[in-house]
Amino acid sequence: MEEKRKSVAKPPQMSPYVFTILLMGFGLWCFWDGWITTDAEMAEHALFNQVLSAILIPWAVWDFYKLRKRAKKSKKKNE
């Protein structure tokens, strides 16, 4: 029984930047829909997309720098 437990592979580690990439992607998409697009059907949603892009893009940038700082700190700690 113990042999089976030891041989079970751990799941792969997920990158800590996945959430940041998703935030930035969605923020850029909202930026496009809120500020740049000329689609008349999107005009009624423009304000929502403008506000959301103003929130998500800075959040993604802040999260990126926070993760980088943490990675540098842990790298120095491990050295």
Least confident of 30-34, 38-42, 54-58, 64-68: 38-42
**Confidence (pLDDT) at 43:** 86
Q: At what angle do helices 18-31 and 46-78 cross, to 10 degrees?
A: 160
pLDDT tens figures, 7-50 = 788 888 889 999 999 999 999 999 999 999 888 888 888 999 99
Q: Where are the domains of the chain?
A: 16-71
User: So what's the pLDDT on residue 4?
Assistant: 59
DSSP-based three-state secondary structure for 1? coil
